[in-house]
Chains A and B, each alone.
Chain A
């Protein structure tokens, strides 16, 4: 995984597989404290405490095609390599909350990557999901909710390719503004 946005997409796929109908994703960049946080919370089926204990072990997986699962172990490794950590809270029947922290300026921190493509891919795969996204950069904030877009669209499905491409461009523009006009999310504004 070369981008944190891809980790978020991977976590979102887990949430959807867990039957989540509400999914919120956040990114917080705090230069003063040199900290980057990415997280996700869902109302999926959740995990038993015993399973949470071993879920970052690559030999733990629910899939049936093979005996290894690498999504969470890779994210945990990336976070710890960057003086950060991975926190998982989960309750069966309630949902799961996952948050990874990184030292923002750590040498090994993966770039945030293409958040609009990640969000659009989630929407394309789960158009009924109540996806919300919030992103803050040193206190400036952007938020997005799929529910509001669906309301505006009325009878037009969110899965319409024109709608999804429109949303991707819209999100790209909004995030560019959030960074003060810089195109790459990891560059300093200016």
Chain B
């Protein structure tokens, strides 16, 4: 494989290295349902929207995936877990909902109630 823009990747490495220094503490987690049901409902697009938004806002959040949890009719499902807080499950998430979930909930701690389908914890 020849990465045509290998230099770009190296530059990105340096840039990211500086950003990572000095950060510590518990991280917020975002978990996306990636079973057959989630994928068919558009979870991949939601996933890439989350990554774009995190990259744009330069946020340090752990993004995880899970399989089918049995709530297929509400897929795509996205869970947000802030350290020490309840696990909030959002349902029927569209890529367009992602910036709001991230700015309201992940950054400011305000749950986007109208999209919530479950709260655990």
Q: Do B36 and A168 have beta carbons less than 8 Å apart? A: no
Binds A, one of B39-47, B81-89, B113-121: B39-47
Expressed in whole angstroms, the minimum distance between the Cβ of B78 and any Cβ of chain A is 13
Q: Do B48 and A9 have beta carbons less than 8 Å apart? A: no
Contact residues in A for B34 (Cβ distance below 8 Å): 9, 13, 121, 125
* Interface of chain B, main secondary structure: helix
- What is the chain B residue whose CB lies nearest that of A66? B70
Q: Do A65 and B70 have beta carbons less than 8 Å apart? A: yes
Q: Do B5 and A170 have beta carbons less than 8 Å apart? A: yes
Contact partner of A13 (CB less than 8 A), chosen from B63, B64, B67, is B67
Contact partner of A156 (CB less than 8 A), chosen from B13, B35, B48, B54, is B13
Binds B, one of A80-88, A146-154, A180-188: A146-154
> How far is it, in angstroms, between the C-alpha of A60 and the C-alpha of B111 when the chains are bound?
38
> How far is it, in angstroms, between the C-alpha of A128 and the C-alpha of B16 when the chains are bound?
19
Q: Do A156 and B36 have beta carbons less than 8 Å apart? A: no
Contact residues in A for B4 (Cβ distance below 8 Å): 170, 173-174
Contact partner of B51 (CB less than 8 A), chosen from A63, A156, A161, A174, is A161
A interface residues, tally (CB under 8 Å):
42
> How far is it, in angstroms, between the C-alpha of A186 and the C-alpha of B65 when the chains are bound?
29
> How far is it, in angstroms, between the C-alpha of A149 and the C-alpha of B5 when the chains are bound?
12
> How far is it, in angstroms, between the C-alpha of A156 and the C-alpha of B21 when the chains are bound?
11
Q: Do B67 and A162 have beta carbons less than 8 Å apart? A: no
Expressed in whole angstroms, the minimum distance between the Cβ of B74 and any Cβ of chain A is 13
Q: Do B67 and A63 have beta carbons less than 8 Å apart? A: yes
Question: Known: A153-B13, A156-B13. Contact between A120 and B48, CB under 8 A?
Answer: yes
Expressed in whole angstroms, the minimum distance between the Cβ of A52 and any Cβ of chain B is 18
Expressed in whole angstroms, the minimum distance between the Cβ of B7 and any Cβ of chain A is 10
Contact residues in A for B3 (Cβ distance below 8 Å): 148-149, 152, 170
> How far is it, in angstroms, between the C-alpha of A155 and the C-alpha of B65 when the chains are bound?
22
Task: Confirm or deny: A163 has a beta carbon within 8 angstroms of a beta carbon on chain B.
Answer: yes
Task: Confirm or deny: B107 has a beta carbon within 8 angstroms of a beta carbon on chain A.
Answer: no
> How far is it, in angstroms, between the C-alpha of A114 and the C-alpha of B44 when the chains are bound?
10
Contact residues in A for B54 (Cβ distance below 8 Å): 161
**Chain B residues engaging chain A, CB cutoff 8 angstroms:** 1, 3-6, 8-10, 12-13, 15-17, 20, 34-36, 39-40, 44-45, 47-48, 50-52, 54-55, 58-59, 61-65, 67-70
Q: Which 5 A-B pairs have the closest CB atoms?
A: A65-B70, A125-B65, A161-B54, A161-B55, A71-B36
Q: Can you list 7 A-B contacts with CB-CB less than 8 angstroms, sorted by A residue number?
A: A6-B40, A17-B67, A69-B36, A155-B17, A156-B17, A161-B52, A170-B4
